[in-house]
Structures are given as C-alpha cells and as structure tokens.
Amino acid sequence: RIHSQQLYRPYPALQATSRRVNPPHSPFSLSLMAIPAELLLLLPLVPVLLVLLKGKKEVERVKARFPPGPPGLPVIGNFHQLGKNSHHTLWELSKQYGPVMRLQLGRVPAVVVSSAQMAEEVLKTHDLKTCSRPVPTSWKRLTYDSKDVGFSPYSSTWRELRKIFMVSLLNMKKVEGFRYVREEEVERLISLISSLASLEPINLSKLLQSFSNDIICRVALGKRFRTVGEGPEENKFHRILRETQALLAEFFVADYFPWAGWVDVLAGRRDRLEKNFAQLDAFYEEVIETHADPNRAPDDKVDSLDVLLHLQKQDPHLTMDHVKGFLMNVLLGGTDTSSATLEFAMAELARNPRAMSKAQEEVRR
C-alpha cells in the first residue's frame, strides 16, 4: 500500500542528482549530461502528450457509440453548417445521414432526431434517460441555478417541484377559479380594439402581448403592472421581461466553448445578464414583500404567489429561490408563448376567409 507521503518522495536517482556533489561514476549523472539541453526542455511536455493521447483514445471510443453525422471543422465542429434557417439545414442533413444523426457544436455533442418513430423512442420509451436538459448560461442565472421546473435535473427534487406546480397552481379548480380574470381581460381587449379601430392602425402583436401579460400577472401576482400614463410597450416591467426573453435566446459562447467564456464578458453579454437578473430579483422581492406584509388588506382572491409563500412556510426545503424560479416559469412560460399562439391563429384566419367566417359565426351565436 502506497502512502500519500511516498508519492512526493523523490526517486533515489533524482536525489543523487540533486546533491551538491554526485558520486564520481554515477551512470545517471553521465547520461543526464549527455542529453542535449533542447531535449531537456521538452521533458515537461511528456505528461501533456500522454494526456492528449489518452483524450484522443477516449474521443475515438465515444465516437464509436454516436450515430452517423456530417464531418465538422476543428474547434467549431458543425456550427458553420447550421446557417440562419437551421431547421431547413437539419432536414437536408437528415436525408443524407438518417433520422438520427450526430452534430458536434463546439465542445457539445448533439443528437438530432427527425422522425416521429425515433422521437417516440427518445421522448417516450427512453424518457428517463433524456428528460434532463442542458442548462444554458442565461437560464441557469435567471432561474437561480436551475431552481425551477423547466431546467431542474430529473430527480426527487424535480418531482416535488412538478407536484407543487401541477397540484397547487395548475389544478382544474385553480384554473376555473381564475376564469373571471380571463373574461375581464378579453372584454378589455375587445373594447380597446373597438376604440382604436376607427382612429389608427392596430399593432395586434403588442396588444396580444399586453393581453397575455395582464392575465398572467393577475393570476400569478394579483394585479397588472403598469405605470399611470404609460402604454403597455413603455411599461418598465414589460421592458424588463422583453430583455429577459432576449437574453434567454442569446448565444453565449461559454455554452459551447467553456474555455472561451471571456468572449461573453468582452461582448457585454455577461453585464446585460447580471443587470437583468438584478432588475428581476428586485421586482420579485418587491412583490413578495407586498404579499408577505401582515398589514395587507384582506382579499378572498388568492393568487399563485400567495399559494407559493404558504407552501414555502410549511416546507423548509422550498426556499425563496424556488419561489422566484416558479415565478420565472409562470411569467415567461405563459406570456410570450400565449401571445405568439394567438398571433399565429389570427394570421391563419386572415389568410383563410372561409375559416374566418366560420369562426365569426361561432362567436356570434
């Protein structure tokens, strides 16, 4: 058995060379003197070369387990092949390499599945092996180190978080209980469109975004967040939320090249992320403090944050960061996606007059 002290004990031969006076006929000292100085300078590189060779063998071993895919370039891998319309590129590549193919995105290996049969195999048959997601830099920061439902790795903690989300926030009784919010906001949207229709062109995208934000904020936080005298596009909270959405879609170099994170710093992306995180955190703290105020006016209309704060008091494992992570999921998962769906639906109705007439007939019954 080798003790830790022995690992740092010099070899006898090296001890001999380190003495001020060597033995007169030491074979080691003679051979050392015979080695050119240039080669001695290369000796420290031997461990590096051994590590590189070992890494190369490991890469070759891992590659053998990957499906086929297009060859990539050094360092960047297949990034140059994606282009602006990556979904078109992936479809073209799948015709050559099959419904399951491998891409190398910097240091990140990726497997692309492009058929219903293989998608079912991955997302259903082997769901437990593929359900955890890689966490991008922006998501990791803005969800308080993945303390949310969307990017928390599959574990007992994630199951508890999902249980809270589904049972306490999204059960049918809760959804039906907030029906009055949806009806009131629909009436407000129709009134607003009616008042503006004869005066100026309507930016339906902004109106639908404001409509979705108002519903989500009232359900999650108990009120709309608008400043008097400001339009929905000028609202401070909406500006913060739009910047958050932009950062979540931002390309961070460190996600694919961990050794090049300094590029994000130089490009200003890190500063933008930290600034947005500070603004969101301050907003969360403000609404949490308001809800936790013992002098708050009693109201029988309990919102989602009230439920989360009540659960947080009962469960010591549910921290305030988890509460903020839940708010992040609710605010981002329900605003942009809902408004985008409505916008696409309206665009399709405008393109199909027959479907538009049928929808109008059903609404007016």
Question: At 267, which CATH number?
Answer: 1.10.630.10
Last residue of a domain, one of 94, 116, 131: 131
Q: Residue 112 in 3-state DSSP?
A: strand
| DSSP structure string for 116-175 | HHHHHIIIIITHHHH-S----HHHHHHTTTT-STTTSPSSHHHHHHHHIIIIIISSHHHH
On average, the pLDDT of the chain sits at 80
Domain count, the chain: 2
Above 60 in pLDDT, residue 342? yes
Could you read off the pLDDT of 105-117 as tens digits, one per residue? 988 999 999 999 9
Domain membership of residue 18 (yes or no) is: no
Task: Clarify whether residues 124 and 162 are in a common domain.
Answer: no
- If pLDDT is split at 50, 70 and 90, which confidence band does 348 have? very high
Amino acid at 233: E
Domain range enclosing 322: 156-363
Could you read off the pLDDT of 160-192 as tens digits, one per residue? 889 988 888 888 888 898 999 999 999 999 898
Domain membership of residue 264 (yes or no) is: yes
- If pLDDT is split at 50, 70 and 90, which confidence band does 228 have? very low
Domain membership of residue 244 (yes or no) is: yes
Could you read off the pLDDT of 62-102 as tens digits, one per residue? 555 789 999 988 888 898 888 788 889 999 999 999 999 99
Report the largest interatomic distance among the alpha carbons of the chain, rounded to a whole angstrom: 111
Whole-angstrom CA distances from 201 to 126, 191, 234, 242 are 50, 15, 18, 23
Above 70 in pLDDT, residue 10? no
Last residue of a domain, one of 77, 96, 131: 131
Residue 199 is predicted with a pLDDT of 78
Task: Clarify whether residues 227 and 186 are in a common domain.
Answer: yes
Domain membership of residue 173 (yes or no) is: yes
Task: Clarify whether residues 198 and 338 are in a common domain.
Answer: yes
Q: What average pLDDT does range 331-344 have in this prediction?
A: 84
Task: Clarify whether residues 229 and 269 are in a common domain.
Answer: yes
Task: Clarify whether residues 108 and 188 are in a common domain.
Answer: no
Above 80 in pLDDT, residue 340? yes
Percent of the chain with pLDDT over 70: 79
Last residue of a domain, one of 81, 98, 131: 131
Residue 230: partners with Cβ closer than 8 Å, 6 or more residues away:
236
Domain membership of residue 17 (yes or no) is: no
Task: Clarify whether residues 219 and 81 are in a common domain.
Answer: no
Domain membership of residue 54 (yes or no) is: no
Question: What angle do helix axes 269-292 and 304-314 make, rounded to 10 degrees?
Answer: 80
Range in 38-52, 190-204, 225-239, 289-303 the model is least confident about: 38-52
Task: Clarify whether residues 168 and 280 are in a common domain.
Answer: yes
Task: Clarify whether residues 279 and 164 are in a common domain.
Answer: yes
Neighbours of 314 (CB within 10 A): 7
Task: Clarify whether residues 226 and 315 are in a common domain.
Answer: yes
Task: Clarify whether residues 250 and 321 are in a common domain.
Answer: yes
- Percentages helix, strand, coil for the chain, rounded to the nearest 5? 65, 5, 30
Above 50 in pLDDT, residue 103? yes
**Measured distance CA(181)–CA(189) in Å, rounded:** 12
Task: Clarify whether residues 77 and 193 are in a common domain.
Answer: no
Domain membership of residue 213 (yes or no) is: yes
Domain membership of residue 304 (yes or no) is: yes
Amino acid at 263: V
Helices and strands counted in the chain (H then E): 20, 2
Given a contact cutoff of 8 angstroms between Cβ atoms, the answer to whether 265 and 311 are in contact is: no
Task: Clarify whether residues 196 and 125 are in a common domain.
Answer: no
